Structure 1
């Protein structure tokens, strides 16, 4: 029987606790699926990066399933991971490498956001949702498709709740930023504001969000604020990844990215498409809680 390794790819964070949470997630996943061989690596800001992770996963394996633990498809998912997979194929010609899609905008992620929003409303003593603004706050990307996935989640949340305002904000790279969206919601008469961070694990940016909300409380003393935490350990995340693995193993059409993301690389290389970058003004912190 061919030995299969599942390589879980996290982004990586300058904050060690963020990487530790990804490792803890993998440990829980191994407990859920003891029959699987699960390895972990990171794209950046960590000890075990992609090249080494792929090499480790290939040792003693006939097949490697590369599973990104990433919400949105920007340059890392579209270009960087496929590039490393191509190099790994050259170094390990006897090993089959398959690449699963990222988590993406989907029903299970929406279910998490809805549950977190309900919990936030309880914390506010269940105010009128029509006077309670919601802000889905993500890290932001130079890739418009990645930002579009977040916009889709915000729209779905608006469609499925009684809140009249569900806005989108970003911590870096693109606009609008949190303070601008809060200003708009305050002008439109919101008496409470719920900030929903769109993050899997902790890190520098999650810590910054907490500080920003405290600043906003002082700036707008007549508005009640609350913010939720990151959601990488929710049941839906485990289930989504398990479905990715099951689809790859069963050879379900579309379970593996075509040509390992070649269509993404073509889009990224098109003159009209911005290259993925963290941007000098952001110091690289845009990347997954860097």
Structure 2
């Protein structure tokens, strides 16, 4: 039975989880900061793995005293966790709590908000290097890596957006595990192609084992390539844009699924929608086929 004094909706952040306790603690601190932005709302936290409160328990806690649970995948890329584990956990929770409505929002994704954060990181790193020539300064976006090609493709899209928005001749992507290329390989290539500075931007929300690993890798690379100046970015989970992105997810959690598909960042869409000239059709794989009408 729902308590009449309790909020009717629980917002449940589902983080990935880290073997590094500090990473999980940062998500808890983020949740507390988000509660301060949304006073009066009930915000809970759970994790997919490597934590005490996992999905099933988190969903059960969120359902107590609530009429609706809005599960927010607090994850940048939609790989197996988002596509398989979260839906399965939600279906099981619906059976356990038939009187509670469970809604799942889209994951954070790689849209305009994340792009703006990466752009700000790049500008900070360029200042750290005393604003060198971008044509001799390589950029590497460094992601977690996944066996899901679509998840890796989201990072590839960010690399292209960064390339389009700047004057760097080389903007590459690398991964810390699972897939290729790895950071060392990309640095070797950029050095061979004449880069004298390299900005490495980890595409991570919070700290963890992999963030620590990246720091060690950069130290070794500095010794291997003393002729190259390296600038290393930081994880960005506490950036204001992340809070804004979550607010938007909650505001539109009941939007039609078509609005949650991967079409962010299409400059033709922005221009053409105003003139009602844009045909935006989606394939079954979540890709986007564009038919652009030009006046």
Aligned to 1:272: none
How far apart, CA to CA, are the structure 1 residues paired with 2:212 and 2:259? 35
Aligned to 2:70: 65
Aligned to 2:208: 203
SS, match of residue 41 in structure 1:
strand
Aligned to 1:285: none
Task: Give the alignment partner of residue 153 of structure 2, picking from 148, 153, 164.
Answer: 148
Instruction: Indicate conservation of the 8 Å contact 1:247/1:255, yes or no.
Output: no
Instruction: Indicate conservation of the 8 Å contact 1:99/1:256, yes or no.
Output: no
Output the TM-score relative to the length of structure 2: 0.85
Task: Confirm whether residue 99 of structure 1 aligns to residue 104 of structure 2.
Answer: yes
Task: Confirm whether residue 110 of structure 1 aligns to residue 119 of structure 2.
Answer: no
Task: Confirm whether residue 8 of structure 1 aligns to residue 13 of structure 2.
Answer: yes
How does 1:142-181 map onto structure 2 within 5 Å?
Answer: 142-181=147-186
Instruction: Indicate conservation of the 8 Å contact 1:131/1:191, yes or no.
Output: yes
User: How far 1:105 sits from its partner (Å)?
Assistant: 1.2
User: How far 1:35 sits from its partner (Å)?
Assistant: 2.0
RMSD of equivalent CA atoms: 1.5
How far apart, CA to CA, are the structure 1 residues paired with 2:14 and 2:258? 17
Task: Confirm whether residue 252 of structure 1 aligns to residue 255 of structure 2.
Answer: yes
How far apart, CA to CA, are the structure 2 residues paired with 1:142 and 1:93? 34
Task: Confirm whether residue 49 of structure 1 aligns to residue 54 of structure 2.
Answer: yes
CA change 1:50–1:30 in 2 (3 A) is same
CA change 1:230–1:188 in 2 (3 A) is same
SS, match of residue 250 in structure 2:
helix
CA change 1:221–1:183 in 2 (3 A) is same
1:172-222 alpha-carbon deviations (Å, 9 max, x no partner): 000000000000000000000000000000000000101100100000010
Output the TM-score relative to the length of structure 1: 0.87
How far apart, CA to CA, are the structure 1 residues paired with 2:130 and 2:213? 26
How far apart, CA to CA, are the structure 1 residues paired with 2:92 and 2:11? 18
User: How far 1:253 sits from its partner (Å)?
Assistant: 1.9
Task: Confirm whether residue 242 of structure 1 aligns to residue 247 of structure 2.
Answer: yes
Unaligned runs of 5+ in 2: 262-283, 286-295
User: How far 1:255 sits from its partner (Å)?
Assistant: 8.1
Which is greater in Rg?
Answer: 2
How far apart, CA to CA, are the structure 2 residues paired with 1:100 and 1:176? 31
SS, match of residue 252 in structure 2:
helix
Aligned to 1:288: none
How far apart, CA to CA, are the structure 1 residues paired with 2:118 and 2:107? 18
Unaligned runs of 5+ in 1: 259-265, 268-290
Structure with the greater relative contact order (CA < 8 A, sep ≥ 6): 1 or 2?
Answer: 1
How far apart, CA to CA, are the structure 1 residues paired with 2:221 and 2:260? 42
- Corresponding residue pairs, total: 258
How far apart, CA to CA, are the structure 2 residues paired with 1:8 and 1:101? 12
SS, match of residue 39 in structure 1:
strand
Task: Give the alignment partner of residue 82 of structure 1, picking from 81, 87, 93.
Answer: 87
